[in-house]
Amino acid sequence: MRQTIDFLLRDWLDVEALNARPRYAEPSLATFTPVLDTCERIARDKYAPFNRPVDPEKPRQDGDRVILPQATHDAWRAYAESGMLAPAQAEALGGMQPPYTVEAAANAFFARASVSISAGMLTAGNANLLMAHGVPARQRVFAQTEFSGRWAGTMCLSEPQAGSSLSDIATRALPDGDDFEADALGPRYRLFGNKMWISAGEHELTENIVHLVLAKIPGADGKLVPGPRGISLFIVPKMMADADGRLSRKRRAAPSFLDPLGGRVGEPALVAVEYLRNDITLAGLNHKCGWRGTPNTLLNFGDGRHPARGMAGAIGWRVGAPGDGPRCMFHMMNEARIGVGLAAAMLGMAGFDASLAYARQRPQGRPVGPAGKDPSQPPVAIIEHADVKRMLLAQKAYAEGALALELYCARLVDEHRTGDETPARDAGLLLEVLTPIAKSWPSEWCLEANSLAIQVHGGYGYTRDFPVEQYWRDNRLNMIHEGTHGIQALDLLGRKVVMEGGAGPAMLAARMRATAARAEALRALQAHAAALQQLLAATRAAWEGGNPAATPAANGTSLRHPALAPRAGEWLGLHQPTRHSRRLRTWTERCAATPRSHGRTRSGNFPGEHTWLTIICNSSLPNGPAAGWKSITSGSNVAPCPSRARAKCWCATTGCRSTPICAGACPTPSPTPNRWRWAR
């Protein structure tokens, strides 16, 4: 894995070039390397050994407490001490200021070792949001203590009755007294309501937990404003603190010790110190099939069980203007979505590593052909079988392609933050389009990689004696949390695609065309370049109507659509070897110089080949298979089918036979000559 990350950072994304930027001028690659080394070591020593033991020892509730395994405490402490809660911050805040690309790569080690106990992402995102939208007093009290690891952070969006529909949340925020706007930490409110699916919502890893809560401020008539208008964001800590960040305390006299004869001994009565709680109650734990090292909670705000300052209602401070909650929260959501995609990629890679090791040592069967007909010959390792090789190659391609996508998005973050005006604007637009894809594509296809890892193990993979079933269970969450596939599709089509007149998708298509043009100069990539061009043609046809409502978004297929996620995987699989080819003169020289790089660029073609076959044989374009086939061949050099009748397309190489499609055009010549045939 380290070699893969080094290849992506150095040979593909050229992270060294960022040292020329003023923000990163002080660190050098010599600084970046120790960051990666440290994170790799901590992940290996504090995370990986406990991934499987923590899985059956899931969190348990004891009143208002959540009990976690000791390994989770040790992992949190090591992560916080490494500085990874604040890597992008100034040195005074415990940060190192590496590029976000390096930060994401460093976090990949923790996700690979044990995503179940890698809870730091939420805290870092919480604190980063407060640094972006908070006033100095709140940054000092909340964000800086989170960066230090003393406090942790969450985000509280969903409710039992609302789920992902934030317009329907019912949590209320009422001004706390006539002087609510005079508080040193900002406008102060009392919150009442329930929040569901809160990861790390209660634990004792830290002395305090800072919840970022979405709630509605009632109008003048006392009613909640319907829809997303009126949703605001609030800082609601578990424990109360003063304006200097010190936890508020209450004191009570404890009984004096008595000697056996009834006389008092010692000094005056001991004093027990107790921290003041906010009015937040742990209502229960959600018992998950995966990610069992991180508690998932239902929280009640303002139910009166822990009156704050003598009154019911959880005290919180508003972030931003009233009604500005969704905009502020999306700062954290986008960061979290990239983190989810990275977790999915690493789980896919973990499954690949496990199934590769198993396939190398598991003897079963004999080779196909004359050599395998002699029963006296010993069985071969299953990695020698073509079908097992296919499953291993698919896993490698999905996992490494997903990792490439996440790091590419991280590189766009760096460009957006530190680039010149025009490149920074372009990077921001491209990032808006790619973020939903960066969350959803790895979540789907790296889950498929985990399924293939189980398949490689056969019956053993379905047992808990091997780790691959846990990888699948852990990864299944990634298609759900931080926005399901359907939510990502609505975000992409409803907001990102149409913003600035569709400039983002146009820019993405332009970059893809540029990659395809470069690939045409490399003979080994010409077929894949042609395939990418045809996917772009399909995209244009899909959007000809200009009406996003007419696309497959409504039925949840848009992130499988050739216009969206799959073509991004194809593009990046093609982009890596063309980018890398600039440093070496020929394909042959590159292969000889870096065999591992050759393996990555070759496996990177697999998802493109898979996407190409899927779209050609079973298109999901708006008007059905016939329109799909016509749009794919539209504008290309095709010969009409003589019969112009209903037919089946089949691949002469794989034998794949699709559902019936229209034979209005015959795909000859194809990227691979004589490959596609018509069958009556």
Which range is least confidently modeled, 263-267, 392-396, 411-415, 428-432? 263-267
Amino acid found at 404: A
Superfamily (CATH H level) for 324-483:
Butyryl-CoA Dehydrogenase, subunit A, domain 3 (1.20.140.10)
- Read off the pLDDT band of 9 (50, 70, 90): very high
Q: Which residue has the higher pLDDT, 414 or 267?
A: 414
- Assign domain 152-323 to its CATH architecture: Beta Barrel (2.40)
For residue 374, what pLDDT is reported?
Answer: 83
For residue 574, what pLDDT is reported?
Answer: 63
Give the list of residues 6+ apart from residue 326 with CB closer than 8 angstroms, or none: 166, 214, 228, 231
DSSP-derived secondary structure letter, 265 = -
What's the mean pLDDT in 510-530?
Answer: 73
267 burial (CB, 10 Å; 0-12 / 13-18 / 19+) is exposed
pLDDT in tens, 421-443: 999 999 999 999 999 999 999 99
pLDDT in tens, 13-33: 888 888 888 888 765 556 788
> CATH 1.20.140.10 region(s) of the chain?
324-483
pLDDT in tens, 118-157: 888 889 999 999 998 878 999 999 999 999 999 999 999 9
Q: What percent of the chain has pLDDT over 90?
A: 49
For residue 174, what pLDDT is reported?
Answer: 96
Q: DSSP letters along 125-142, please?
A: HHHHHHHHH--HHHIIII
Q: What residue ranges in 74-142 does DSSP mark as E strands?
A: none
Tell whether the model's pLDDT for residue 646 goes beyond 70. Answer: no
pTM: 0.81
- Read off the pLDDT band of 633 (50, 70, 90): very low
Helix axes 526-542, 565-580, angle to 10 degrees: 150
In whole angstroms, give the CA distance from residue 674 to residue 30. Answer: 51
Helix axes 605-617, 526-542, angle to 10 degrees: 50
> CATH 1.10.540 region(s) of the chain?
2-118
- Read off the pLDDT band of 667 (50, 70, 90): very low
The SS3 assignment for 677 reads strand
244 burial (CB, 10 Å; 0-12 / 13-18 / 19+) is exposed
Q: Domain 2-118 adopts which CATH fold?
A: Butyryl-Coa Dehydrogenase, subunit A; domain 1 (1.10.540)
